[in-house]
Amino acid sequence: MKRGKKIRAFLIFMAPSFLGVAVFVILPFGDVVKRSFTTAVTGNFTGLANYITIFHNQAFMIAVKNTLKFTLVCIPLLVSIGFLIAMPLSGIKESGLIKSIYLFPMAMPTATIVMVWKMVFYKQGFINLVLTEIGKWTGLWGEIHTGYLDTDAAFWVLVCSYIWKNTGYTVVLWLSGILGIPAELLDAARVDGAGKYKRIWYIILPNLKGTLYTIVILSFLNSFKIYREAYLVAGAYPHRSIYLLQHTFNNWFVNMEFDKMAAAAVCTGSFLLVVILLLQKVWDKDEA
């Protein structure tokens, strides 16, 4: 195919999408960058004032800290849990049903199970009921009345519901990675006398770097959606251990504090861009 013709075809097929992206993302984001350097109401140029404000804003800093903590706890946890499930699953032929079970939470709209979550985690909820029963049975502790949603434990409630919702696709991805490893490689290692764990460590894991990259990226993308659970279970101003970046953005939006929002959007966007590019670079290096 001639180069000119190829470029023309590319442009024609690409045009609608690119125009839409330009109108809805690129151009307005330019406006946001501009706004991040001006005041909200009058639009006067203020230099870095907005950036300085947000970095002195206590709520924003708590939110940044919590969001980072959440990602750093959840992603490694999710990646390993997914692998621990996928590894034995790869040896079973009838894995369809089990995969469906793990994937199912992905299909459950958050709003439909919020009430159940509340029933589980409230002070008088199911968890405390079960714990108290166990305590009674073993005689080790008495009744437990911790309210998980208004203490530091709220953070772990979010972690649990994130894992609950996202394990399914990590299992699917790991599984497709593990099953994609050529059987000859594993057989050769077996003949050479490598045991099960040695095979996992020296053959399977090094072959799954691409899969790992994918899983990290996707679970990162989905980690921002935990806001739904946090908001629905605990409202716009939850306990400070689960006050996330998403809460800050939303509350600024409600209060029309667009100058801070613009600065925070630029910061968050650039930070994510750097992280994504770094991840891509690390991965490309491994490929080469």
Partner 1 sequence: MKNQKQIYKNDKIKQNIIANLNKAFVMAVLILPGIFVVFPVIILITGSVMDQYELKGYLSSVFMDELSFISWKLMPDYPSFANYKKLLFQDPSFFILFWNSMRMTACIIGGQLLIGVPAAWAFAVYKVRAGKLLFAFYVVLMLLPFQVTMLSNYLVLNKLSLLNTDKAVILPAIFSTFPIFLCYGGFRSIPAQLFEAARVDGAGEGIIFSRIGLPLGKSGILSAIVLGFLEYWNMMEQPMAFIDDKSLWPLSLYLPEITWTKAGYAFCASFITLIPAVFVFVMGQDYLEQGIIYSGLKE
In the complex, minimum distance from the CB of residue 69 to partner 1, in angstroms, rounded to a whole number: 16
Map the footprint of partner 1 across residues 76-115, applying CB under 8 A: 85, 88-89, 91-92, 97-115
Cβ atoms 105, 165 nearer than 8 A: yes
Q: How far apart are the first and last CA of the chain?
A: 28
- Binding flag, residue 6, partner 1 (CB under 8 A): yes
Residue whose CB is less far from partner 1, 21 or 61: 21
- Binding flag, residue 43, partner 1 (CB under 8 A): no
Residue whose CB is less far from partner 1, 5 or 192: 5
In the complex, minimum distance from the CB of residue 124 to partner 1, in angstroms, rounded to a whole number: 4
- Binding flag, residue 10, partner 1 (CB under 8 A): yes
Choose the binding region for partner 1 from 49-57, 127-135, 184-192, 194-202 (rule: CB under 8 A).
127-135
- Binding flag, residue 48, partner 1 (CB under 8 A): no
Choose the binding region for partner 1 from 44-52, 69-77, 197-205, 260-268 (rule: CB under 8 A).
260-268
Exactly one of 68, 188, 273, 278 binds partner 1 (CB under 8 A); that residue is 273
Residue whose CB is less far from partner 1, 228 or 240: 228
User: Residue length, the chain?
Assistant: 288
Count of residues interacting with partner 1 (CB under 8 A): 95
Exactly one of 200, 232, 240, 251 binds partner 1 (CB under 8 A); that residue is 232
- Binding flag, residue 128, partner 1 (CB under 8 A): yes
Amino acid making up residue 123: K
- Binding flag, residue 280, partner 1 (CB under 8 A): yes
Residue whose CB is less far from partner 1, 55 or 213: 213
Phi-psi category of residue 139: left, alpha or beta, with phi > 0 → left and psi -120 to 50 → alpha: left
- Binding flag, residue 53, partner 1 (CB under 8 A): no
Residue whose CB is less far from partner 1, 14 or 68: 14
- Binding flag, residue 217, partner 1 (CB under 8 A): yes
Exactly one of 39, 122, 209, 251 binds partner 1 (CB under 8 A); that residue is 122
- Binding flag, residue 202, partner 1 (CB under 8 A): no
Residue whose CB is less far from partner 1, 188 or 286: 286
What tokens does 134 get?
């166990």
Q: What is the full DSSP assignment across the chain?
A: --HHHHHHHHHHHHHHHHHHHIIIIIHHHHHHHHHTTB-TTT--B-TTHHHHHHHH-HHHHHHHHHHHHHHHHHHHHHHHHHHHHHHHHTT-S--HHHHHHHHHHHHS-HHHHHHHHHHHHSTTSHHHHHHHHHHHHHTS-------GGGSTTHHHHHHHHHHHHHHHHHHHHHHHHHHTS-HHHHHHHHHTT--HHHHIIIIIGGGGHHHHHHHHHHHHHHHGGGHHHHHHHH-SS--GGG--HHHHHHHHHHTT-HHHHHHHHHHHHHHHHHHHHHHHHHHHHHH-
